[in-house]
Amino acid sequence: MSEQTLSNLSREERRFEPPADLAADANVKEEAYARADSDREAFWADAADRLDWGQKWDQVLDWSNPPFAKWFVGGTINAAVNCVDRHVDAGNGDKVAIHWVGEPDDDTRDITYAQLKDEVSKAANALTDLGVKKGDRVAIYMPMIPEVVVAMLACARLGAPHTVVFGGFSADALASRITDCDAKVVITSDGGYRRGAASALKPAVDEAVEKTAGPDGQSQVRHVLVVRRTGQDVDWDDDRDVWWHEAVDNASADHEAEMHDSEHPLFVMYTSGSTGKPKGILHTTGGYLTGTSFTHWEVFDLKDDDVYWCTADVGWITGHSYMVYGPLANGATQVMYEGTPEKGRWWQIVQDYQVSIFYTAPTAIRTFMKQGREIPDGYDMSSLRLLGSVGEPINPEAYVWYREVIGGDRCPVVDTWWQTETGQIMISPLPGVTAGKPGSAMKGLPGVGADVVDDDGQSVPDGSGGYLVLTQPWPAMLRTLWGDDQRFKDTYWSRYPKQGFYFAGDGAKKDEDGDLWMLGRVDDVMNVSGHRLSTTEIESALVSHPKVAEAAVVGAADETTGQAVCAFVILRESAGDGGPDIVEELRKHVQKEIGAIAKPRQIMVVPELPKTRSGKIMRRLLKDVAEHREVGDVTTLADSTVMDLIKDKEGSGA
């Protein structure tokens, strides 16, 4: 984030105290900070005690071989049993787990915990029949339908780690993830609904499976389990493909769940790093479930009669931690919506289902702000009592609008900072304790060590900026990168080896009160609408096009999406000027290679790229161009006239 935005941030001076009734009855009160500080492990052990364990742990944390943590060592647990069976056993089987809202009007389903338990058990039996065993990986590529939750929990029940790939990713992206984690089965659907139309998914799976075939023509994917959602035509391979409604609906609803080791892998979630190859973030069972369920109860102050709604897609970590595992482990009632944020539809859902806790991303809030408050003002949203934000810094304007227009000026806003890697919320206000400051995520939650440090790892004084680090291990922390311990160490733990800090990759600032302000990534990772994209990955996609010789990608500030993808490309000589449609051709190419979310907002065809004498592209200068700023210091460029050539191009609108 630029200094310009920072100064805007500090202009909002208001503080918002917690509502008195919420504060009085809050799940977590001020004393929790001191309690956690005095004995961090005892604090997290209490959090773990909220769950049902097979065998209790002997040791809370084993940190004898950092950075490889083990939590609740010797304990055994089943995540699916904690998310469904135990609520049924406690007499809450009739409680609605999921109010599912399909995109087409009136396409809704309410699923109770008892029904969810039956579905998960059936799916676990069906997967067993397809040969899935404990430890096998299962890829899931699905729209936002209840079966995706059932599929994830069925995998968890069996101890078969899932890897959910966002449905907006391309066949290529899916194939590389299937290959990296060696998935044996893929669960998908014929399609899903997007903006009023059926959009196919199965063809991408067919293509991806084909791409994973080895030299013998055989893919490691033995079966594709297909949910019928839209009813559209699909190609079918009789040996490989199986309909969900045949395999699962006919399976038994009795399934004896095994208790898995606390450190048994629960899932792998791929995310963008600063190199082209996505990282497979590994989360394990006991610590992850402890961290997500506890923080969900703590940060959202969850009560038994709340109706909770997290708008994230299940294909991202927010969907895993705060739509599936956290809320379900807590026995919450929640809304799940298949579609995208269209005008008014979200607020209609809030009104219809009396949503009381709402969790979304700043990019959505800014979009609604642009559309005007008349739309949300048309609905009764008095059921809301708490609002959350995640994925990127929330600017004070958006925070205040969210609070006033959506929250009726009575709901606290919790700005939650965390990452795919952290698994759980790490930095956030506590709704019953903290006086909210628009734009600040405030401080580390009880039990979390968060600090801002300088290049040497020294804590910076209040009023200064630096790098965000996590100073203590936490239960839901990633355990490694799938199959790549070395990259795990290099990426997160090599920056401050002396102190043993986890390097988050974010810049941050402490204000005069010591509260934290997130300033965005300090590496080559962009944040577009709260989604993480790697500049290098998009550059690789561009240079894989036959007409492109070289490419540089930057994330430029964007009013709605936070950042937007801007690409600068040099064409091969053989391509001439690339033809009249070159820009559109390249945008489509990126969409095909990675997915629509990575499609550049802007592509400029340029004669040269700004490089240092050692050949490193100076993205900072390109960012200046993309953000229409005066170009910064060019003295380290090998050829300082290059920027004039690029600016000429921009001026001509090419």
Binding region for ligand PRX (CB under 6 A): 271, 317-318, 390-393, 415-420, 441, 504-506, 518, 520-521, 527, 532
Closer residue to ligand PRX in complex, CB, 159/280: 280
Smallest gap from residue 142 Cβ to ligand PRX (A): 19
The total number of residues shown for the chain amounts to 654
Smallest gap from residue 323 Cβ to ligand PRX (A): 12
User: Is 653 strand, coil or helix?
Assistant: coil
Give the list of residues 6+ apart from residue 294 with CB closer than 8 angstroms, or none.
47, 50, 424
Closer residue to ligand PRX in complex, CB, 417/474: 417
Closer residue to ligand PRX in complex, CB, 290/318: 318
Q: Binding site residues for CoA, as ranges?
A: 194-197, 318, 529
Question: Looking at residue 645, what DSSP letter applies?
Answer: H
Q: Binding site residues for ATP, as ranges?
A: 391-393, 415-420, 506, 521, 532
Residue 458, token pair as written in the block? 């020294």
Whether the link from the prior residue into 580 is cis, omega within 30° of 0, is: no
Closer residue to ligand PRX in complex, CB, 121/420: 420
Phi and psi based region of residue 15 (left: phi greater than 0; alpha: psi -120 to 50; beta: remaining): beta
Give the DSSP H/E element, type plus range, for residue 246. Answer: helix 244-247
- Rounded CA-CA distance 72/57 in Å is 5
Closer residue to ligand PRX in complex, CB, 18/391: 391
Smallest gap from residue 422 Cβ to ligand PRX (A): 8
Phi and psi based region of residue 612 (left: phi greater than 0; alpha: psi -120 to 50; beta: remaining): beta
Closer residue to ligand PRX in complex, CB, 55/494: 494
- 113 residue type, one letter: Y
Smallest gap from residue 143 Cβ to ligand PRX (A): 20
User: For the chain, how far is it from start to end, CA to CA, in angstroms?
Assistant: 27
Helices (H), 282-361: 285-299, 317-319, 326-329, 345-353
Burial of residue 252, with CB atoms counted within 10 A of its CB: 0-12 exposed, 13-18 middle, 19 or more buried: exposed
Closer residue to ligand PRX in complex, CB, 447/520: 520
Q: Binding site residues for Mg(2+), as ranges?
A: 543, 545, 548
How crowded is residue 654: how many other Cβ atoms within 10 Å of its Cβ?
Answer: 13
Smallest gap from residue 326 Cβ to ligand PRX (A): 12
CA distance readout (Å), 167 to 35, 143, 192, 316 = 42, 6, 9, 10
Closer residue to ligand PRX in complex, CB, 99/509: 509
CA angle 565, 570, 572 (to 5 degrees): 135
Q: Binding site residues, as ranges?
A: 194-197, 318, 391-393, 415-420, 506, 521, 529, 532, 543, 545, 548
